[in-house]
Amino acid sequence: MSRRAIFVLLLLIALLLGSAELFARLIVQRHSKVEVMVTREHREALALRPAANGTPKQLLIVGNSFVGMDLDLPTLQQRLAPAWNVHRYWLYNTYYNDWYYGLKRLLAEGSRPDAIAVTFATTSFQISTIRGDYSSYYLFQPRDLLSLESAADLDNTETANLLFARYSRFYGLRSEIRKVLLQSVLHDLPRMYNLFHPPSGTPLKGATVSSAITPRLAALEQLTSRYGVRLLIIVPPLPRPGQEFQPEMRQAAARAGITVVMPYSSHDLPASLYIDDVHLSPEGALKFSETIAPLLADALGATPQPGVDASDFHRDHPQAPVVGIPAALAVQHRP
């Protein structure tokens, strides 16, 4: 065995790693519907600037799958026009820490919407977990990783992985690539996830939620006000009584001086308007959006517009993605 054999072996490994990175950047990022959407939304969010006199103001809605599934963007856009343009930027499975640091990066990199609406269930503000490597590429700045390590209770290896994922597109995307490949081998794999129930933890107590979310809302408010950006919170309904913590959210938002839009509780919408045990169906999203549009308009100081058929929006914006994701993914991806 010669040294040449080792050199060729290491070279082959390096070539494969390089090819994986190129594959992620050139193929996956350009051809995956989800990646195309996230990249475009990220780019658009980054390009937002405060409105000049007489031009529409910019509202950026960020959050997790509730943004994608519980909000009907065309409806909101129609109802808030012409005073406001509505943009969104969302990632599956993301939580408070993802978006606190995500907004920090977005604002630090120059994004200046007039208002930001963070859309989460109350419990998404309470838990400390993050999505992980995937969100690192889009949301985190390397200089924030040490602070994130303690905020999300990560260990050094997990933090180092985030740093790696911040620069390697393949590393951040690898679990998504694996899912697609596995599905091509086992076509009915998404159905397997029907077997898995959400982990049954100890039921949360109101006091726990309140003590966790109060400083977090205050931190979000502090962050956005530093850049002169107005902050709103949109809380979608959940079909699970006892999981909404509405009084706690109202109290925490009031303390932080944030407007919270939370029109429904669990029993206000029929089960038929939910697509699974978390998200609204397209009809539910339409109803929810129609309900919150005047509330948002009121909070933002816009005159609400009467209802317009959302298909007009799609006609005017043919590139705009249709809200909703395949049922298979909806099951895999909790908010």
- Using CB under 8 A as the criterion, which residues of the chain lie in contact with other proteins when the complex forms? 1-3, 5-6, 8-10, 12-13, 16-17, 20, 132-133, 155-158, 160-161, 164, 170-171, 174-175, 177-178, 181-182, 185-186, 188-189, 191-192, 194-200
Q: What DSSP state is assigned to residue 55?
A: S
Min separation Cβ 163 and other proteins, Å: 8
User: Exposed (0-12), middle (13-18) or buried (19+): which is 302, by Cβ within 10 Å?
Assistant: buried
Min separation Cβ 154 and other proteins, Å: 10
Min separation Cβ 248 and other proteins, Å: 27
User: Exposed (0-12), middle (13-18) or buried (19+): which is 14, by Cβ within 10 Å?
Assistant: exposed
Min separation Cβ 198 and other proteins, Å: 8
Q: Which amino acid is at 325?
A: I
User: How do beta strands 84-90 and 230-234 pair?
Assistant: unpaired
Min separation Cβ 49 and other proteins, Å: 36
Min separation Cβ 200 and other proteins, Å: 7
- Cα separation, 95 vs 107, in Å, equals 18
DSSP string of 252-290? HHHHHT-EEE----TTTS-GGGBSSSSPBPHHHHHHHHH
User: Exposed (0-12), middle (13-18) or buried (19+): which is 205, by Cβ within 10 Å?
Assistant: exposed
Q: Which is nearer to other proteins, 54 or 199 (CB)?
A: 199
Q: What backbone phi and psi angles, to 5 degrees, belong to 118?
A: -85, 125
- Cα separation, 83 vs 301, in Å, equals 9
Q: Which is nearer to other proteins, 1 or 52 (CB)?
A: 1
Min separation Cβ 202 and other proteins, Å: 14
Q: Which is nearer to other proteins, 299 or 330 (CB)?
A: 330
Min separation Cβ 253 and other proteins, Å: 33
Q: Which is nearer to other proteins, 32 or 161 (CB)?
A: 161
Place of tokens 């706690």: 248
User: How do beta strands 115-119 and 259-261 pair?
Assistant: unpaired
Q: Which is nearer to other proteins, 191 or 317 (CB)?
A: 191
- Cα separation, 98 vs 75, in Å, equals 27
Q: Which is nearer to other proteins, 52 or 185 (CB)?
A: 185
Taking residue 71's Cβ as centre, other Cβ atoms within 10 Å add up to: 26
- Cα separation, 48 vs 266, in Å, equals 34
Q: Which is nearer to other proteins, 189 or 295 (CB)?
A: 189
Q: Which is nearer to other proteins, 49 or 191 (CB)?
A: 191
